[in-house]
Amino acid sequence: MTEIIERQIIDHLTFLYGTERAPHLWERLSALLADFVRRHPELRENVPPPAERLTERDVILITYGDQVTESGKPPLRALAEVLEKHVQVAITGIHILPFFPYSSDDGFSVIDYTRVNPDLGDWADIERLGHTFRLMFDAVINHISRQSSWFQAFLAGDPEFAKSFIVVEPGTNLSQVVRPRALPLLTAVQTVSGEKLVWTTFSTDQIDLNYADPDVLLRVIEVLLLYVEKGAELIRLDAIAYLWKKLGTSCIHLEETHRVVKLFRAVLDIVAPGVMLITETNVPHKENISYFGNGRDEAQLVYQFPLPPLVLHTLVTGDATRLSAWAAELALPSDQTPFYNFLASHDGIGVRPVEGILTPEEVQVLVDRTLAHGGYVSCKTNADGSESVYELNISYFDALSDPQGGEAQGVQARRFMVSQAIMLALQGMPAIYVHSLFGSRNYREGVAQTGRYRSINREKFRRADLEAALADPASLRHQVFYPYLQLLRARAAHPAFHPNGPQRVLNLHPAVFAVLRTAPDGSEALLCLHNVTNTEVAISPEQRGVLRDIVTGATFHLPDGGGTLTLAPYQVLWLSVD
């Protein structure tokens, strides 16, 4: 198997850098990999088969390293203590958002890929989390901070870094380049040899790396191996769609970019086959799932980006028709490539992924609701110079319920929980943003402090305040957190929720999202019902007999001759089927 993978790596290197350079690059890379294997042979031992590396028990919590603060403790240590105390009964993995020294963008402009930000803690704190949870690290490798030693060496004329960044001549036609932001693509910088224009996809502080220089590729592979050495079982490839640039093209989803991801996969398959890659590509669904490759040679997971706006649309309209039609068409290329299901993250709710699924008018309803509920919208620049909305910046809870609407808190909490239950019921591995797990609302004060819309759902917790709220049955955090734990515990106990377990979407009523999940070995089936409205709904499922809700233990008897099942407003039923 290793020989086959080695040939794949050589093929990728040849495609990227040509037949003359590929043999020497493989010689350098193979030496790097051989040294890693010598130091860490344990990473190739006792690795489960690909289809079993994730199970129904796996759930990821997305959080910042300084999400929880407590006087006298490094934030990573305070975070570990809170998670060990409150969530390890239901959460198996932690995605620690970039915890490296950084200069902007809340961590996504990395100064040094190899160090833990001393304001958060150290590698020992990361490793402590790894003793209890599976860890996901961010590889923010499309760009690097202008304060990094790599870019400073480039500015100083260091020949080792002379080609590490993309320099563009003034007047170059860049009209075909897809822009994810409404900001200039090029940034003028002063070097020892004069002013130069460098490529900056996301901001003037985030300088894009030049993967046409093979030395950049090899340096980044060293970084990925360090992350594996430090305990990463999943590596998130941030903004990976923009990795390779070629003038005269869109510079998004290029074949070279796919080859780099496949090369990363092949490298890890040799040295640490249990480590999985996940690609972050906030784009329309067909483009997004292209990063699965053939199901065995590229990313093991991709974000399910249409899900957040689709579920929001479903609860806003009280109609699950669009969500059901979309979910019914989902297909995986292999049993090794689960979807990464989520509804909220440190970013906003992307709307590009529902292009062709929702109409522009339906998207505008979500935009208007976001603004009416105290949120913001972010825009991108189109090829013709116009701007369009690409992201809704609002807490997912407040996107669903108006914080100033006067509605009973219990109703708002049930509406929110049905949204989360839909996500948990779908085929794939779920990921929960920390502010969803703890029922957070808009943090408009953060936007006022930073001037950045995304700060609206990036509030940090004081440990004492968080734990006091969790202990108070009248608090929103209590009313979200404990029902969430109940759902997660039920889910973990049933193989029908295995990431690769088949699903069949059922059209029982427009107001009900219904999906039948089955264990991969056929040993169990669950009928998952979600009322997306604030009114009772009666349905007649095809399943008959005694059905038991695995969350509450309630039973329902549906005789063979007929009978209906009535769902209360925003009720969730996960029913075992004999």
Only one residue has tokens 């998207």, namely 363
Q: Which of 468, 472, 18 is nearest to 214 (CA)?
A: 18
Q: Do 56 and 90 meet the contact criterion of CB atoms below 8 Å apart? A: no
Query: How many Cβ atoms from other residues are within 10 Å of residue 122's Cβ?
Result: 14
Only one residue has tokens 């955090």, namely 477
For residue 433, report the phi and psi dihedrals to the nearest 5 degrees. Answer: -70, 140
Give the list of residues 6+ apart from residue 392 with CB closer than 8 angstroms, or none.
309, 348, 349, 351, 366, 367, 370, 375, 376, 377, 378, 399
**Residue 247 CA to its chain's centroid (Å):** 29
The four Cα atoms 364, 365, 368, 373 give a dihedral, to 10 degrees, of -140
Catalytic residue among 238, 269, 297, 398: 238
Beta strands in 200-281 (DSSP E): 206-208, 232-237, 276-279
d(CA 548, CA 525): 12
Please list the alpha-helical segments (H only) found in 280-408: 285-288, 307-317, 321-328, 360-372, 396-400
Angle, CA 527 vertex, CA 544 and CA 534 arms, to 5°:
105
Q: Do 298 and 262 meet the contact criterion of CB atoms below 8 Å apart? A: yes
Q: Which of 297, 295, 227 is nearest to 9 (CA)?
A: 297
Report the relative pairing of strands 194-199 and 186-191 from DSSP bridges: antiparallel
Q: Do 545 and 578 meet the contact criterion of CB atoms below 8 Å apart? A: yes
Q: Do 357 and 324 meet the contact criterion of CB atoms below 8 Å apart? A: no
d(CA 446, CA 377): 15
Query: How many Cβ atoms from other residues are within 10 Å of residue 169's Cβ?
Result: 8
DSSP 178-206: --SSSS-SEEEEEETTEEEEEE-SSBTTE
Active site residue 578: no
Q: Integer distance in angstroms from the first to the last C-alpha of the chain?
A: 42
Which tokens is 535 given?
């009114």
d(CA 463, CA 266): 42
Helix (H) or strand (E) holding 217: helix 214-229
For residue 142, report the phi and psi dihedrals to the nearest 5 degrees. Answer: -75, -30
Which residues are the active-site residues? 238
